């Protein structure tokens, strides 16, 4: 029964775990729309991903990309105090980078329109819709520098704005392109739109952006294609094949960016004013991609990334956004080195959720909730997180753990409820039924083997104990009921405690008497010795009680009968069940209790019980006694010195 019950709990735990794991996987799937719950899980998954990225082992400084930063240091220079800076500055920077051997130059600045006051030179002409103002000297210089370099990729972006009101809303799309003269001179265009997730964090790069059905490569794809001598289509195909694009967690044209290091540590940086002056080491740019872009906060081109959690190394800034130009550099670096962060296959997530949840269910069923929390839930949660973090850090494989943790927790809670409603309810019932009848160690065995306590009937070999108080009828006739009950309870308390302490089971109280059995419901090889030991201890305690009573109190004397043999044990009754033992062994023990009167003894046991006891106790044979309904008389025994209990 024990094995079957444990097996049933383990199977139930596995089934509950399977259902909970499947539900958790479905709930956390990117395509599941469960409202605010799905959004909360998605945010938790993304935060978990951010910690993986932020605390992965930093990669060394890129050997392929350098950034020219429009930073606070540059703004502190006198000639850079007014924005926008003259385009002649950009022209000079491009020429200096080209002379230093830059392989590709990416400009992360929208160079739209002409600069200077050229548009105001002819106010009447400016009123014409098709009027195109002439280029300023700075514009001409910049166009020439771009054309001479032959390797410049200029930025463009698509802007989406919501329009309308509550009666009708829509989205207005527009594009910001560089001045046509600049575009004609450039080697290509690169989109600088940054895809942001629901929490505003940039985790992904894209291969292209679309405007009016025309596809434009992103800055990362454009500079990579130019750097590697391939066309943007080939680079795009490589990205889609290598990065796992099309996974439910990604859009069809996006890939996860592998950020090299915390802000400012993944790429060599050259302040813009040094690039303008030419006061930089040419080795920093020779043969490399050089991206020019803003990092100063005043230019408002900083964005939250997973590296936000690491702050800015070497400063007191604990959390900080990353400049957009560094994000583009990270995306290009991911493509160039094929350093893809690959999402796991959907079946891996499902298998993990099912396996861990089923394991949690089995552990909860085997250990029970109180033990399963520190032994099962905590280690499994730690294992899932450690394992998925290590897989990411070693293999760049993103295995989400949130759905697995949800499955584990949901399984633990569900199994706890299940056990509370079923198994633990049964345990409480067993405790209520047996707690006052048996010793704690016997109770523990019953709880582990509940089949021992719920039976339709079984044949067992045990020793039956019967006790009775001498002169009880006379005492009842001469005393008030409350005194009678009070006195009887003194005896019953002693008898119950002693019987339980010796491993016996108290079956019932019969008026002033006690009926008990040793060797059932938990089998005991020494049941007869236990029964005699309990009988002697009861007599000793009753003797001590009599020595301490006052004058006129009732001197309670106990008579005990013991007999060993086969008997039927089980629950009897209809609706209201009561565990009891039945058979000739029971009736014989009751007769022996009464036969104490004939031999003037306090404890009388049968020959069968004496044989079971063996040499453990010295016994005194008393002869034979005829017991009703038995064809042959019984040889009976008592203990030496028992006359002191009479």
Which residues are CB-neighbours of 522 under 8 A, at least 6 positions away?
438, 442, 445, 446, 449, 452, 503
Element (H, E) at 344: none
Please classify residue 171 by burial: count the beta carbons closer than 10 Å to its beta carbon, then call 0-12 exposed, 13-18 middle and 19+ buried.
exposed
Please state the rounded mean pLDDT for residues 319-323: 92
Beta strand 152-165 with 104-107 is: parallel
Give pLDDT tens digits for 373-395.
999 999 999 999 999 999 999 98
Tokens 């195909």 correspond to: 237
pLDDT for 430 beyond 90: no
What was the pLDDT predicted at 521?
A: 80
610 pLDDT band (50/70/90 cuts)? very high
Distances (CA, A) of 363 to 194, 269, 366, 371, 495: 46, 54, 5, 9, 41
Both structure tokens of 559: 């008579």
At 212 the pLDDT is 85
Record the tokens describing residue 226, joined without a space.
């130019």
Q: Which of 535, 371, 307, 573 is nearest to 457 (CA)?
A: 573
Does 206 or 436 have the greater pLDDT score? 206
The dihedral over CA atoms of 513, 517, 521, 526, expressed in degrees to the nearest 10, equals 150
- Separation between Cα atoms, residue 162 and residue 387, nearest integer Å: 43
β-strands 152-165, 168-176 pairing: antiparallel
67-81, 173-187, 559-573, 608-622: range with lowest mean pLDDT: 559-573
Residue 488 token pair: 């009887």
The answer to whether the CB of 463 falls within 8 A of the CB of 564 is yes
Q: Mean pLDDT across the stretch 575-581?
A: 62
* DSSP state, residue 270: E
Q: What's the pLDDT tens digit per position in 123-158?
A: 555 555 556 778 889 999 999 999 999 999 999 999
Beta-ladder partners of 506 = 516
Count of helices and strands (H, E) across the chain? 22, 23
Tokens of 379: 């280690």
Sorted by where each starts, the structural domains of the chain and their CATH numbers stand as: 2-31+354-421 (no CATH), 60-342 (no CATH), 454-645 (3.30.70.1230)
Highest mean pLDDT among 97-111, 419-433, 474-488, 518-532: 97-111
User: Cβ distance 13 to 365 under 8 Å?
Assistant: yes
Q: What is the pTM of this model?
A: 0.69
Mean pLDDT of 148-176: 78
Mean pLDDT of 214-221: 94
Residue 53, classed as helix, strand or coil, is: helix
At 210 the three-state DSSP class reads strand
Rg (CA), the chain: 45
CB 430 within 8 Å of CB 447 = yes
Dihedral of CA atoms 494, 495, 496, 499 in degrees, nearest 10, equals 120
* Strand 578-582 relative to strand 104-107, pairing: unpaired
DSSP 377-434: IHHHHHHHHHHHHHHHHHH-EE---HHHHHHHHHHHHHHHHHHHHTHHHHHHHHHHHH
């Amino acid at each position: 029964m024990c094995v079957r019950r444990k097996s049933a709990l383990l199977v139930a735990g596995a089934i509950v775990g399977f259902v909970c794991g499947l539900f958790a996987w479905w709930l956390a799937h990117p395509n599941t729309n469960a409202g605010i719950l799905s959004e909360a899980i998605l945010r938790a998954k993304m935060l978990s991903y951010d910690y993986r990225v932020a605390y992965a082992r930093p990669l060394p400084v890129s050997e392929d990309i350098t950034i020219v930063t429009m930073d606070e240091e540059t703004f502190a220079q006198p000639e850079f105090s007014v924005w926008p800076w003259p385009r002649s500055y950009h022209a000079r920077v491009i020429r200096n980078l080209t002379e230093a051997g830059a392989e590709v130059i990416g400009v992360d600045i929208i160079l739209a329109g002409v600069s200077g006051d050229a548009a105001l030179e002819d106010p009447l002409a400016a009123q014409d819709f098709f009027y195109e103002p002439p280029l300023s000297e700075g514009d001409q210089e910049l166009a020439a520098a771009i054309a001479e370099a032959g390797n410049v990729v200029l930025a463009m972006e698509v802007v989406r704005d919501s329009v309308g009101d509550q009666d009708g809303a829509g989205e207005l799309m527009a594009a910001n392109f560089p001045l046509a003269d600049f575009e004609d001179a450039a080697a290509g265009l690169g989109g600088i739109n940054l895809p942001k997730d629901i929490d505003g964090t940039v985790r992904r790069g894209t291969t292209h952006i679309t405007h009016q059905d025309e596809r434009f490569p992103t800055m990362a794809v454009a500079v990579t294609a130019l750097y590697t001598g391939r066309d943007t289509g080939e680079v795009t195909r490589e990205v889609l094949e290598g990065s796992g694009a099309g996974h439910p967690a990604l859009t069809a044209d996006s890939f996860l960016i592998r950020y090299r290091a915390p802000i400012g540590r993944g790429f060599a940086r050259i302040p813009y004013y040094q690039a303008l002056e030419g006061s930089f080491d040419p080795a920093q740019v020779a043969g490399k991609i050089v991206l020019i872009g803003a990092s100063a906060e005043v230019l408002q081109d900083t964005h939250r990334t997973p590296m936000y959690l690491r702050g800015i190394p070497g400063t007191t800034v604990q959390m900080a956004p990353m400049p957009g130009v560094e994000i583009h550099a990270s995306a290009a670096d991911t493509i160039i080195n094929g350093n893809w962060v690959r999402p796991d296959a959907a079946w891996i997530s499902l298998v993990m959720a099912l396996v861990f949840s089923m394991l949690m269910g089995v552990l909860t069923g085997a250990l029970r909730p109180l033990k399963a929390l520190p032994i099962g839930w905590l280690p499994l949660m730690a294992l899932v997180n450690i394992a998925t973090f290590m897989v990411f850090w070693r293999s760049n494989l993103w295995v989400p753990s949130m759905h697995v943790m949800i499955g584990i927790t949901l399984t633990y809670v569900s199994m706890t409820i299940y056990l509370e409603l079923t198994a633990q309810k049964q345990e409480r019932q067993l405790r209520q039924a047996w707690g006052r009848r048996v010793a704690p160690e016997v109770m523990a065995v019953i709880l582990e083997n509940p089949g021992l306590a719920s039976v339709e009937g079984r044949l067992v070999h045990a020793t039956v104990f019967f006790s009775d108080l001498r002169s009880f009828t006379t005492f009842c006739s001469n005393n008030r009921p409350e005194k009678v009950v009070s006195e009887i309870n003194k005896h019953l308390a002693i008898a119950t405690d002693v019987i339980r302490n010796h491993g016996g089971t108290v079956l019932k109280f019969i008026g002033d008497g006690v009926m008990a059995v040793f060797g059932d419901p938990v089998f005991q090889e020494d049941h007869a010795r236990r029964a005699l030991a309990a009988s002697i201890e009861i007599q000793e305690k009753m003797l001590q009680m009599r020595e301490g009573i006052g004058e006129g109190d009732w001197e309670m004397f106990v008579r005990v009968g013991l007999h060993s043999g086969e008997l039927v044990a089980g629950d009897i009754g209809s609706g209201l069940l009561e565990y009891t033992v039945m058979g000739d062994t029971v009736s014989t023990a009751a007769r022996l209790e009464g036969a104490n009167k004939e031999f003037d003894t306090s404890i009388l046991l049968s020959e069968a019980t004496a044989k079971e006891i063996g040499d453990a106790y010295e016994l005194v044979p008393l002869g034979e006694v005829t017991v009703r309904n038995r064809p042959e008389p019984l040889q009976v025994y008592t203990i030496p010195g028992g006359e002191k209990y009479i």
